[in-house]
Structure 1
Amino acid sequence: MFTFTPILGAAADDDKSLACQSLLTFDSNVRVLIDVGWDDKFSPELLNELERLTPTIDLILLTHATVSHLGAFAYAYKHFPGFDSIPVYATLPVINMGRMVTIDAYATAWFTSRPSEPFQISEVDSIFDKIHTLKYSQQFSLNAKLSSLRISAYNAGHSLGGTIWRLQYGQEDVLHAVDWNHAVERHLNSSLLLTSPESFNRPTALINGARAGSSLRKKEETLANAVARGLAKGGSVLLPTSTTARALELCHFLDAYWTEHKLTEIPLFFVSRTGSRTMSYARSMLEWMSSSIVREWEEKGSETPFVFKYLKVVSSEEEVISVRGRKVIIASGQGLEWGPARNVFAEECSAEGNTVVFTQEVDHESLGGQILNAWKLATDAISDDVKFGRISMQKQLELRRSVPLEGEELQKFLDAERERQAFAERQTAIDIKNRTLLDQEDLSESESSDSEDDEVTVDGVEEKLDVGVLILTQTEDVFDYDVRGAKTLKNKMFPFVPRRIRKDAYGEIIRTEDYLRAEERDEGKLSGKDENDVAWNEEIGKKRKWADDQDEEKVVVIPSKTVVEKRLVTVRCEITFIDFEGLADARSIQMIIPQLQPRKVILISGTTQQSESLSAGLRNAGIEEVYVPEADTSINASMDTSAFEVTISSELAKLIKWQDTAGGEYSVAQIKGKLLRVEQLAKDNSTAAADNADDQTDTNELELLPITTKQEHATAAGLTKPVMVGDVRLAELKRRLISNGHRAEFRGEGMLLCDKQVVVRKLDNNEILVEGGVGKEFYEVRKIVASFLAKIT
């Protein structure tokens, strides 16, 4: 049994947010949460249902590195009890880029300026490090309660590492495909839904996003013309975008456009608080990108993609705002509610010569959504594909920015930090002491003298320290220890242990990190904090490297705080919208989904109008069961079958003749039995039985019948010929034929030509047809095809 419940992202009117949270429930009460999205305003009330359901969730899967898909993940991880114990899976790019968009968004989120909702940005890295990594097409089975569930990740397009999730549980084969793209882009391949639809083998349920991109052709050319139009008026052009999902495509395209047209006199910026680190991640994950990116890397030689010639990556909006005259700014924060885009917009929107180009759909309630709604009304009469217009609007904006701590605030922060470090060190020493006391009970007498000391790590170096000594303060030149519990006289005299060289049976222990090449060391930094990016709330006085593409310098990171400034702004700039979101258009969706032959389709993540339009198109294409669920409404999308799960004993399993299907994915056999229903007996008292009617449950029991002959068995089962069970995948069949000495090549969709004499076709109903003249090749090919199937007689 399978039920689907949209927590966030159900079809609604135009005032909905883009946040996605979907709950999938399988038999045995296995619950899987897909996406932990949030809206651009970070509304706390949207997370109430997620907090309530947290104790019941068994698994979390993440699809895209955007606020609408994982914006609430770090917040829930810290604030919702039990959320941190749920296993989480995602692809490597979603993990890396997800931490970047989270840091960028949380820097100006509503809870950063509220003492009642503290959140240290430095915690984001450690939270995302807890996520388990999966590769594309990797089938993964879980343990314990989830042992019957298999999950697989497939390329979705739209964003780097974006994922279509396939979940297989018993007879249920569920495909979760929200926000995917069928087109190849500069740095992304197309979704596997288009390139290999047969890989999904007729899912029992397809959960698909109703949001679709526009059918506008030559989008890059259209966007370039819009930017050129804005520059021709002598003003600046602002392009709000998501931190990682679409920013990479925009940055790569515009830098190439600047290079082609040699626009050396016009500054081109990408402003994001995690910009340089985002580009470092992108350069380290080329294997997740399109082949054109790899070719570009090979053609450039020593240079790598996302090392830009004209585009300058900056982390502060002040650096962009200070540049006067013509300029183009790509700024993170597509809805103008968080990120540098909001502050840049507040500075640039009042000049009539400036232009704001929205390239993505945004939340209706966000500042960007309000502006776009007003723009649509103002340009409704314009029939052009790309509409430019002005709106008359005044807005009171709250602008958040980070300022360094000074004076008394800085001193209080330093005192609190020292106290926190001292408490952590004392607690570590106590934990080590307690652990050692327990371990000493199992040590032999010969080892008892060594057990008085235990290893601790100080400044990254393992040393011997008496665990009876409590560390009160330890800085570079000050050692304050409580030695009253020390076990040795030496430590009571002076509790300092010099650093020792560690040795094992082969000599001095070698630290492999000391011998890494420079590029390997840089790649290693990508899994943690990056030296090339200024972060918030970092270690006090820690020296880090500020990396620009042109020069480098040493800086000291000073603790900062978020301050809120209210400003009245008047919008006078020109507004336009050009779809650059990387989503499949509605017509393509209606053509591709029927090829998957899903038994049921569930539409989410769209407005009511979008869902109804797509639903009608899919029904016209032959899909009868299409559902558009409302928020918190469960849809029973189970496979319509009368099959039952039966547990057989190991003794019976040994007597059954098992047959492997293609690739050994599973084995099948046939047993004959009679299904008996055993009902729980009611109590003698009829009144008590009525009161307890709701507590009565039904169970099923299988009574095996005596073994019969094959003929009797076939007659009893109503079979006149053997039944072939399994699925033949033509790509695997081609490899098997070649390995057996045959020649095989594809000749059109669903047709494999073997030895230039035999044709193997896969029909629409997944049946296999072998055609050819009678001869040795025909029978050999037919035998190999039959080896993929199990024959039940």
Structure 2
Amino acid sequence: MLEFTPLAGPFRAADAKGKQREVESVEQPKAVAYLVEIDGCRILLDCGAPEDFVFADAPAAPEDAAHSPELAGTLPEILARIGKTIDVVLLTHAELSHLGLYAYARAHYGLVGTVYATLPVQTMGRLVMHEAVRAWSSEIDVGASGRLLPTEAEVDDAFDAMRTLRFLQPTPLDGKSAGLVLTAYNAGHSLGGTVWKLRSPSVGTVVMALDWNHSRERHLDRTALLPSAHTPFGEMRSVDAIGRADVLITDIERGLVTNAGRKDRDAALLDRVHQTLQGGHSVLIPVDSAARLLELLVLLDQHWSFAYQHQRFPLCLVSATGQEFVERARTFIEWMSREWAAQLLADDAGKGRRRNRQGPALKSPLDFSFLRYFATVDALRNAVTPSQPKVVLAAPASLTHGPARSLLADFLADPDALVLLTGRGEPGSVQRTLWERWNAHQSDPEAWRRGKVGAPAAIGGQLTYELRRRIRLTGEELRAHLEREQQAKEHEAQSRAPVRARPQLEADEDAAEASESDSSDDDEPAVGHEAHRLLLSTRDIAPERLAAADAQQEVSFDIFLRGMAGRAPMHGAPEHGAYGAGVHYRMFPFVERKRKVDTYGEAIDTGKWLSRRRRLETEQEDQLDPTRHAPADEHLRVAQPEPPSKFVVEPMRVAVRCHVMFVDMQGLNDGRALKMLLPQLQPRRLILVNGDAPTNADLYAMLSALRGFHSELFLPAPGATVRIGEQTHSYSVKLADTLLGPAHWSMIEDYNVMPIRALPDFTTDEVPVLVRDEHAAHDVERTAPTTLYIGDLKLSALKTQLARQHRIRADFAGEGVLVCDGAPSLGRKASDAMRSVTVQKESSGRIVIEGNLSAGLRRIRESVYDLYAQVHQ
């Protein structure tokens, strides 16, 4: 049985099974996560977070929806309850909306299940998280902000624990998910973006396709949901086909949007950028740090190489991980366009010939010779003058924080500058505000939904937002901070120090006098005073270490004083007060180390000799090369704690004088692709997610009118569970030799099937053995044999088989109806009723063959039987 539950999404969706209500869907920041349960195995599909890592309150659940209390609330609350029960985690894209919460959940919610992702998603996802952590840490106090933001160490630990897969690599799962086979396919949209295919013995084929792109781009091929008809070399390529899914899970967020043509979109973007630069002004393009950045860089680099070969206008990328992202992307050429991969292979094959001729090597598509990298905004301003025309790509795209938010005020104040938006942004963000104002100034506000590219507009007005930054403390603030820090350390040391117990030792006067006669009276006061001074100075230097040691041992070590000094009363006590409660002086404990002696005498500690040898070798190497530790010293300087600083929030109210333009560069499917491709995929069961109420109503009306979709179509709301199939159990058994002797196997897809009548034998301690059931065998001999037909008839395959083997013509007459030429020998004079034989496939799986009794009817019937796996019982 399969249970599917959306845990979070971009909309508060409608009811399950498409029963729409007159309600409005409320849009919220996109952070997707889905729970898939197959026969007791829990699979978490994606674990996203908003750009600001703040989760809003969960929406109210529909009254008639089957909600589990365990799966109610916000995504962090749900993961806190079920994180430890997750067996497998699947990550789809290297975007915050798909993996932003994964590292935090692994560190705090016990999400330690096996994690699968492609190698680019692991690498680029790590960079995306590092970019977000560094940007937010430089603007806010993460601990006091309430944002679920992990540390960089937690990010590295989480992404190091991933298991990376390649496309088309079947991977059997283990543990509780044993029996499931996982395969990754190309999804488009982002580098390494994945469509997951899961084969289950009980449910069948489950395909999970989120944020896929049906169009080919400059650096990525289209999704594998629709395989290419031919390879670049003209050969058929069907090995990468996903095939028909028993359960297809896909998103319909853009179900009412039609994408603009790629040529129109790119031409509008480049033309406006060119006009702005030629006018002596700059362009700001807010971008994400990984997923869609590469497509923009390839587009702009090609334009720069054609139009600005002399580097008149700088092309700048402001991102803490931008340069590392491009360097890592160069190692993933085989994950990108097939044309690029073929070009790279041809380049490698011809290196020998070019070496002999000393010819130039081919340029890689990712060698951005015109791109300049800057880690901070200050580095950009120091290198490029503000008045110089330039194009700046800054992260993040939503303008919620980071370099893009810091640079926004400089561009808004220039009347001829351009702010180019490549997406709508999250609700409430600065990007969404600019987009809404731009859309309001268009002649047709709905044009962007109909595949049109809008025009730039001077939106005017005021824009209010907060500019957060972190600055170092200086002067009186620094002095006051250091004093408070020192007082806090002293208070902590005093609070952690253990309470002194009463002394348990009593001085022996005779022994004290004897020891006093052996020592010198002149040296004793000096030695005692010096030891006391050293002890007190050491306690002041390292109170934390001493307090920690006392907290662990809870043992008091006191100096033994001679004579009546140890029994002196406390200061301020009565004259005849209790003795033994005087002042005690702290000293370090002494542990007597005994020599280890075995049968042959004293044991030699070889570790001391080895450590002495290593020390001598190190000293010798330092004398030969004194500068060999320079990098280590530099690393130590970098690893030192940061100077004291404070977070400052500056309210910004800027007049919007620049031009704003929106060009959709998201690289996602649209409504036209969904309505054309979903019927072609022909899934047996379809689950649609991430749609608002109008989108759900539109697609439900369209798909329910198609035969085979009306009873197997689900649109679950966040928190509602869809149940498909029945609960099944699988067990491991062995087959006895008596069963395998007269076996007659039948092939069905990738499996060999055979009916058996057997009983389990539990005499062995290991796996039970199935032996032949003799009583059932005698009963079968008395009854007539039956045949079981297993499989799924495809009318297209039947049409091909009739044409090849029997030369019978067949045509489709409607949805699920095939009309065949049942009497070809009668000639043209025969009527259509005499000639036609119809094969109809009903939604319940029943095959109906209708026609007049003839040889053609017999051949068609036999062809139908041949397409099934026949199991004789």
Asked if Structure 1 and Structure 2 have the same fold, meaning a TM-score greater than 0.5 normalized by the shorter chain, the answer is: yes
Could you tell me how far 1:609 is from its partner in structure 2?
Answer: 3.0
| Mapped partners of 1:100, 1:749: distance in 2 | 51
What is aligned with 1:60? 89
Could you tell me how far 1:709 is from its partner in structure 2?
Answer: 8.4
Could you tell me how far 1:2 is from its partner in structure 2?
Answer: 1.1
Could you tell me how far 1:41 is from its partner in structure 2?
Answer: 1.5
For 2:734, which of 650, 665, 674 is the aligned residue?
650
Residue 271 of structure 1 pairs with residue 337 of structure 2: no
For 1:202, which of 217, 239, 244 is the aligned residue?
244
Residue 311 of structure 1 pairs with residue 371 of structure 2: yes
Q: Normalising by structure 1, what TM-score?
A: 0.67
What is aligned with 2:271? 225
For 2:50, which of 24, 39, 57 is the aligned residue?
39
Could you tell me how far 1:355 is from its partner in structure 2?
Answer: 1.4
Residue 669 of structure 1 pairs with residue 737 of structure 2: no
Could you tell me how far 1:182 is from its partner in structure 2?
Answer: 1.2
* 1:198-251 C-alpha deviation (Å, 9 max, x unpaired): 943432221111123642112222221232243344322111122111001110
Task: Letter of the 1:238 partner, please give it.
Answer: L
Cα 1:396–1:588 change in 2 (3 A) is: closer
Q: What are the within-5 Å matches in structure 2 for residues 259-338 of structure 1?
A: 259-262=305-308, 264-294=311-341, 297=344, 301=361, 303-322=363-382, 323=384, 324=386, 325-338=388-401
Task: Letter of the 1:609 partner, please give it.
Answer: P
Task: Letter of the 2:185 partner, please give it.
Answer: Y
Residue 362 of structure 1 pairs with residue 425 of structure 2: yes
* 1:417-446 C-alpha deviation (Å, 9 max, x unpaired): xxxxxxxxxxxxxxxxxxxxxxxxxxxxxx
What is aligned with 1:706? 776
Could you tell me how far 1:791 is from its partner in structure 2?
Answer: 4.5
Could you tell me how far 1:156 is from its partner in structure 2?
Answer: 0.3
* 1:587-629 C-alpha deviation (Å, 9 max, x unpaired): 1121111122112222223433333333333334443233222
Residue 395 of structure 1 pairs with residue 464 of structure 2: yes
Cα 1:86–1:610 change in 2 (3 A) is: same
| Mapped partners of 1:336, 1:182: distance in 2 | 28
Cα 1:723–1:602 change in 2 (3 A) is: closer
* 1:526-573 C-alpha deviation (Å, 9 max, x unpaired): xxxxxxxxxxxx9983299xxxxxxxxxx9998577844424141332
Residue 611 of structure 1 pairs with residue 696 of structure 2: yes
| Mapped partners of 2:115, 2:729: distance in 1 | 28
Q: Normalising by structure 2, what TM-score?
A: 0.62
Alignment RMSD:
4.7
Task: Letter of the 2:274 partner, please give it.
Answer: A
Cα 1:729–1:650 change in 2 (3 A) is: farther
What is aligned with 1:3? 3
What is aligned with 2:206? 174
Residue 139 of structure 1 pairs with residue 208 of structure 2: no
Cα 1:578–1:489 change in 2 (3 A) is: same
| Mapped partners of 2:305, 2:594: distance in 1 | 69
Secondary structure of 1:41's match?
coil
| Mapped partners of 1:157, 1:402: distance in 2 | 41
Residue 114 of structure 1 pairs with residue 142 of structure 2: yes
What is aligned with 2:835? none
Cα 1:649–1:496 change in 2 (3 A) is: closer
For 1:635, which of 714, 718, 722 is the aligned residue?
722
Contact 1:108–1:400 (CA under 8 A) maintained in structure 2? no
What is aligned with 1:659? 745
Cα 1:366–1:139 change in 2 (3 A) is: same
Q: How many pairs are equivalent?
A: 616
Cα 1:607–1:222 change in 2 (3 A) is: farther
Cα 1:229–1:485 change in 2 (3 A) is: farther
Contact 2:5–2:720 (CA under 8 A) maintained in structure 1? yes
Q: Which runs of 5+ in 2 are unaligned?
A: 13-24, 57-73, 229-237, 348-359, 487-548, 550-590, 597-602, 617-630, 760-772, 825-858
Secondary structure of 1:293's match?
helix
For 2:789, which of 698, 720, 723 is the aligned residue?
723
Secondary structure of 2:295's match?
helix
Cα 1:17–1:241 change in 2 (3 A) is: same
Task: Letter of the 1:107 partner, please give it.
Answer: R
Contact 2:182–2:198 (CA under 8 A) maintained in structure 1? yes
What is aligned with 2:635? 542
Task: Letter of the 2:36 partner, please give it.
Answer: L
Which of the two has higher C-alpha Rg? 2
| Mapped partners of 1:752, 1:286: distance in 2 | 41
What is aligned with 1:476? none
Contact 2:47–2:101 (CA under 8 A) maintained in structure 1? yes
Q: Which runs of 5+ in 1 are unaligned?
A: 416-471, 473-481, 502-537, 545-554, 675-702, 731-747, 774-778
| Mapped partners of 1:167, 1:670: distance in 2 | 26
Cα 1:261–1:611 change in 2 (3 A) is: farther
What is aligned with 2:31? 19
Question: By percentage of residues, which structure has more strand?
Answer: 1
| Mapped partners of 2:403, 2:270: distance in 1 | 23
Could you tell me how far 1:321 is from its partner in structure 2?
Answer: 4.0
Secondary structure of 2:225's match?
helix
Secondary structure of 1:192's match?
coil
What is aligned with 1:420? none
Contact 2:104–2:154 (CA under 8 A) maintained in structure 1? no
What is aligned with 1:740? none
Task: Letter of the 2:281 partner, please give it.
Answer: G
Contact 1:209–1:604 (CA under 8 A) maintained in structure 2? yes
Contact 1:397–1:568 (CA under 8 A) maintained in structure 2? yes
Contact 1:348–1:354 (CA under 8 A) maintained in structure 2? yes
| Mapped partners of 1:397, 1:367: distance in 2 | 10
Task: Letter of the 2:260 partner, please give it.
Answer: L
* 1:502-530 C-alpha deviation (Å, 9 max, x unpaired): xxxxxxxxxxxxxxxxxxxxxxxxxxxxx
What is aligned with 1:385? 453
What is aligned with 1:596? 681
| Mapped partners of 2:633, 2:817: distance in 1 | 64
Could you tell me how far 1:652 is from its partner in structure 2?
Answer: 6.3
What is aligned with 1:504? none
Task: Letter of the 1:541 partner, please give it.
Answer: E
Contact 1:160–1:188 (CA under 8 A) maintained in structure 2? yes
Secondary structure of 1:566's match?
strand
Cα 1:327–1:558 change in 2 (3 A) is: farther
Could you tell me how far 1:391 is from its partner in structure 2?
Answer: 4.3
| Mapped partners of 1:557, 1:375: distance in 2 | 47
Same amino acid, percent of matched pairs: 28
What is aligned with 2:102? 73
What is aligned with 2:522? none
Contact 1:37–1:67 (CA under 8 A) maintained in structure 2? yes
Secondary structure of 2:190's match?
coil
Contact 1:296–1:305 (CA under 8 A) maintained in structure 2? no
| Mapped partners of 1:409, 1:132: distance in 2 | 49
| Mapped partners of 1:139, 1:185: distance in 2 | 27
What is aligned with 1:157? 188
Task: Letter of the 1:598 partner, please give it.
Answer: P
Contact 1:540–1:557 (CA under 8 A) maintained in structure 2? no
Q: What are the within-5 Å matches in structure 2 for residues 377-776 of structure 1?
A: 377-379=440-442, 381=444, 385-389=453-457, 390-400=459-469, 496-499=611-614, 541-542=634-635, 559=642, 563-570=647-654, 571-622=656-707, 623-624=709-710, 625-636=712-723, 638-639=724-725, 645=729, 650=734, 655=739, 657=743, 659=745, 661=747, 665-671=750-756, 706-707=776-777, 717=786, 719=787, 723=789, 725=791
* 1:179-199 C-alpha deviation (Å, 9 max, x unpaired): 001111111111011116994
* 1:438-484 C-alpha deviation (Å, 9 max, x unpaired): xxxxxxxxxxxxxxxxxxxxxxxxxxxxxxxxxx9xxxxxxxxx995
Task: Letter of the 1:8 partner, please give it.
Answer: A
| Mapped partners of 1:760, 1:315: distance in 2 | 67
Task: Letter of the 2:328 partner, please give it.
Answer: Y
Secondary structure of 1:31's match?
strand
